[in-house]
Amino acid sequence: MAPSPARRLGVASVTLMIIAASAPLTVLAGGVTTTYAVTGLLGVPLSYLVLGAILAVFAVGYAAMSRHVTNAGAFYAYAAQGISRPVGVGVALVALTAYNLMQVGIYGVFGFTVSSLLAERFGLDVPWWAAVLACIAVVAVLGVNRVDLSARVLGILVALEFLVVIVYDISAFALAPEGIPAEPLSPSSLFVPGVGAVLSFGVAAFMGFESAAIYGEEARNPARTIPRATFCAVGIIAVFYAVSAWAMSAGVGTSQLAAVAGEQGPGLVFSFLGGHFGVIAADIAQLLFVTSIFAALVSFHNAVARYGFSLGRERVLPAWLEATTRHGAPKAGSLVQTGIAVAVTAGFAIAGTGSELGPLYPVLTLFTWLTNAGAMGLVLLMAVVSLAVVGFFRRRPELAPGPWAARVAPAVGAVALAVVFALIAANFDLLLGLTEPSPLSWVLPAIVVVPGVLGILWALRLRRTAPEVYARIGHGQEGAAHRLGEEA
């Protein structure tokens, strides 16, 4: 029997949606070069493997719980059913905030990159915000259409990204001026003062892998599709980025890697390709850099829209957020996210008029500020969800898959993620590029944490004023069906 129209996604489609959020070419050209430049440490390749191991442990319990909880709100439902309803609502608002920060922040680097390309190649003076508004419109169209259309678009873009990065990796290893170094894979190159900064930068490369559960209601077989897609994504991301970061150290040479990365930034990758394969190759890579960022924008947009849909369906937020298109896409949530992106972009555009930062303004403010705060929030969410997994199976021992998946792995994951969160908090000034104390170092984290507190308080109010709504918190389709039965 063919899957229902609402359940079109298989393992490959969900995996692509996850990997798209990490944006392979963006990680190599932007993330890896920045990490080498800022930290000066060579252990960046090993850091991806370490983070991959931590997130794989987290994914054990996360995947086990996904077999029993299918909800477009994912983290929200897990926390509600594993810890408590108030914590679930708090988690939902933190997730909405964090994904919005990540999605809108990425528009900053998109606008800068497109504006720079148009100026360099065609002599066109296009403001960064104009490029962003055009991109927001395209993302909005994909967001309100069939999700498998988005999956096909992302699949093509991600495949081309992988091709470019693979070409770069092979060439870098083949042309290694100082030979292929072993030092980047040595623990002594990573576990030294500054390791916190490396892990803080690196964790952003994995952001989005946890979004598999968000597509549970659109997967052909959620019990198998979601766990498999999650583990596939973690493994591919960890190994691929570790190899690519290692290739960069070989292609440049460890003796001058930090200096070159600091001087050229993302241009390091494109100048390498241009020098060995010609200007056309470099231009193609830069174009794919833009589409790489675009793929991440679409992925995070979908995540935000589905959280809004889930909360509207359960009446935790206004009911109109439950609206979907005839294809089943969360129309209202998508439009709200689009509106937020437009408003924030307009605000930064106005504030940046005449800024002394010049063309780099959207990168050093919109992108840097929002994405780092968003990544911090997502790590916090994963730590809380790890505890939720333990609570869920403790309350339902008949569903527990075994001690490892039900208790041990989630507990280990919670501790490890809490450590990563603490390292991000300790290095937040560095992540923001601040050289002296600034209100931003506590305002931005507060933007992530405060919604969680407000969510808990809102849930407690619902418990007093709307007990029927409170009772359905975190129960997705089951809760919606119960509500419809009451309204009939």
Q: What is the pLDDT of residues 177-206, one digit of tens each?
A: 999 999 999 999 998 877 877 887 788 788
pLDDT greater than 50 at residue 482: no
CA dist 95 → 33, 210, 344, 463 (Å): 28, 11, 18, 22
What does the pLDDT average to over 21-50? 86
Backbone angles phi, psi at 78, to 5 degrees: -65, -45
Confidence of residue 159 (pLDDT cuts 50, 70, 90): confident
What mean pLDDT value characterizes the chain? Answer: 84
What pLDDT shows up at residue 487?
35
78-107 pLDDT, tens digit per residue, is 999 999 999 999 998 998 898 899 889 989
Residue 303 or 154, more confident: 303
Under the banding of pLDDT at 50, 70 and 90, the label for residue 244 is very high
Q: Is residue 57 over pLDDT 90?
A: yes
**CA within 13 Å, CB half, 52:** 19
Residue among 455, 458, 431 nearest 445 (CA): 431
- The answer, yes or no, to whether residue 150 has pLDDT greater than 60, is no
The pLDDT of residue 488 is 32
The model's confidence at residue 221, banded by pLDDT at 50, 70 and 90, is: confident
| Contact assessment for residue 258 and residue 37, using Cβ atoms and an 8 Å cutoff | yes
Q: Are 346 and 109 in contact (CB under 8 A)?
A: no
- Give the Cα separation of 292 and 338 in Å (integer): 19
The span from the CA of 273 to the CA of 367, in Å, is 26
Within 8 A by CB and 6+ apart from 370, the residues are: 101, 102, 104, 105, 108, 344, 444
Angle at 23 between CA 250 and CA 147, to 5 degrees: 155
- Beta pairing partners, 82: none
The predicted structure's pLDDT at residue 30: 78
Q: How far is CA 432 from CA 16, 366, 424, 451, in A?
A: 30, 11, 11, 21
Cβ 102 vs Cβ 279: under 8 Å: no
% of the chain exceeding 70 in pLDDT: 90
C-alpha 250, offset from chain centre? 28
More confident residue, 116 or 207: 116
Gap between the Cα atoms of 388 and 281, Å rounded: 48
Tokens encoding 456: 């808990």
Say which residue the tokens 């030294």 belong to. Answer: 192
pLDDT, position 429? 78
3-state secondary structure of 56: helix
Whole-number percent of the chain with pLDDT over 90: 37
Q: What is the mean pLDDT of residues 42-46?
A: 95
Residue with tokens 């294809």: 327
pLDDT band at 168 (very low <50, low <70, confident <90, very high): very high
Identify the band that residue 210 occupies on the pLDDT scale cut at 50, 70 and 90.
low
**Measured between alpha carbons, how far is 166 from 275 in angstroms, rounded to an integer?**
17
Highest mean pLDDT among 132-146, 315-329, 465-479: 132-146
DSSP 8-class letter at 144: T
Which among 281, 195, 240 has a CA at the least distance from the CA of 28? 240
CA distance 47 to 53: 10
For residues 26-39, average pLDDT: 84
pLDDT value for 433: 66
Give the pLDDT band (50/70/90) at residue 356: confident
| pLDDT value for 486 | 38
* 412 pLDDT above the threshold of 90: yes
Domains defined along the chain, listed by start? 11-475 (1.20.1740.10)
The region, left, alpha or beta by phi > 0 then psi within -120 to 50, assigned to residue 41 is: beta
Whether 4 shows a pLDDT value over 50: the answer reads: no
Query: Which two three-digit tokens encode residue 49?
Result: 């493997």
